[in-house]
Amino acid sequence: MAHALTGARIFTGDDFLDGHAVVIEGARIKAVVPEAETDGMTRRDLGGGLLVPGFIDVQVNGGGGALLNDDPSVDTVRTIATAHRRFGTVGMLPTVITDAPQVIAKAVVSVARAMAEGVPGVLGIHIEGPFLDVARKGAHAARFIRDMEEADADAIAGFAMYCPVMLTLAPNRVAPALVQRLAQAGVLVSLGHSEASFVEARQALDAGARSITHLYNAMSQMTGREPGLVGAALTDAESYVGIIADGHHVHDAALKVAFATKPASRMMLITDAMPTAAGGPDSFELQGRTVTRSNGRLSLPDGTLAGSDLTMDAAVRYCVTMLGMELGSVLRMASLNPACFLRCEHDLGRIAPGHLASLVLLGNDLHVKTTWINGQ
């Protein structure tokens, strides 16, 4: 039976609406209508706030004390998704970082099983590595990093038959022909952790790479004579860019440059969250190394950044309050843009008839009050 959500301002993904209601039937949105047209329906008065499309995060290593690499199981996937849901994430790619092949394969199987079992909010898997550049490894363990061979490309293309796969690779360590093969198999190829030249990055984009992983971090920077991977990302109008807006990973001025340069429709807010995020502990073990949280910053003993303590609602607030960005644009970067990147914009990213009722109610302070995934 259809019911109506009333009493909140609505951001549809395109426009702000006052005095309107969202009518939900089952898992999907039936209509967005003036509240007066819901007379006789079962109504839920939300009591104010802003109803927005739910957030989508394409890079989530962990949360709520769990880390996918540590225990690549359905239970871990469920724990991470449940933890981040409280902070507005209604769709995510649990992320497995550079590790032994059997760990990565088990993570893929577990994510596929979680999706088959209907674990709320799981949209696929992000495999970050191991085909990276040791020179830009960041917190990834060098002992697992290696070049991609044809058999690896075949294996990852096979993974994409079971669930959507995003793969971060270094374009200077993977041949453009393999990038093309992966893209043609439906893998969402992303470029990162790389000292690639502008030309190498451009070749990978031309071969079908679809995005850039955590812009500015762990990649060749832009200079006057060698624009590097950053320059390739900012000058390419078609690729998507994930960016961590937490005040630790990227300077505010660099964030403003990216948002001013790249088409707004191609920017995605991400968390790169670790187990500390979404209610987790102050420290955890990452492949035998201790990662500690201090003033919201996660680092290895040598000071290397190791993921983030961020949640999606906090990223939205940071962009609005610290960078002075327009709220609608920021909300699209947290919902519609990643939905388009994942090619699921027909289901997610907007409050519109036919879309899934995966929503977030924000308070006036932009903190999460309530979430819905598929109407629940």
Give per-residue pLDDT as tens, 57-110: 999 999 999 999 999 999 999 999 999 999 999 999 999 999 999 999 999 999
Q: Partners of 314 in the beta sheet?
A: none
Using H for helix, E for strand and C for coil, what is the string for the chain?
A: CCEEEECCEEECCCCEECCEEEEEECCEEEEEEEHHHHCCCEEEECCCCEEEECEEEEEECEECCEECCCCCCHHHHHHHHHHHHCCCEEEEEEEEECCCHHHHHHHHHHHHHHHHCCCCCECCEEEECCCCCHHHCCCCCHHHCCCCCHHHHHHHHHHCCCCCEEEEECCCCCCHHHHHHHHHCCCEEEECCECCCHHHHHHHHHCCCCEECCCCCCECCCCCCCCHHHHHHHHCCCCEEEECCCCCCCCHHHHHHHHHHCCHHHEEECCCECCCCCCCCCEEEECCEEEEEECCEEECCCCCECCECCCHHHHHHHHHHHCCCCHHHHHHHHCHHHHHHCCCCCCCCCCCCCCECCEEEECCCCCEEEEECCCC
* Sign of CA pseudo-dihedral 82, 86, 87, 92: positive
On the question of a cis peptide bond just before residue 130, with omega within 30 degrees of 0, the verdict is: yes
Q: State the CATH architecture for 55-341.
A: Alpha-Beta Barrel (3.20)
Catalytic residues: 272
Give residue limits of the domains in the chain.
3-52+353-372, 55-341
State the pLDDT at residue 1: 85
Fold that domain 3-52+353-372 belongs to in CATH: Urease, subunit C; domain 1 (2.30.40)
Query: Euclidean distance between the first and final Cα of the chain, in Å?
Result: 13
One-letter amino acid at 129 equals G
pTM of the model: 0.98
Q: What are phi and psi of 71, to 5 degrees?
A: -145, 85
**Four-CA torsion 338, 344, 347, 353, nearest 10 degrees:** 80
Give dist(CA 267, CA 15) in Å, integer.
18
Angle formed at CA 309 by CA 246 and CA 334, multiple of 5 degrees: 55
- The tokens for 120 are 């709320």
Does 3-52+353-372 match 55-341 in CATH topology?
no
- The tokens for 214 are 């955590």
Mean pLDDT (10-residue bins), the chain, 376 residues: 96 98 98 95 97 98 98 98 98 98 98 98 98 97 97 97 97 98 98 98 98 98 98 98 98 98 98 97 95 95 96 98 98 98 98 98 98 98
* Sign of CA pseudo-dihedral 195, 198, 199, 200: positive
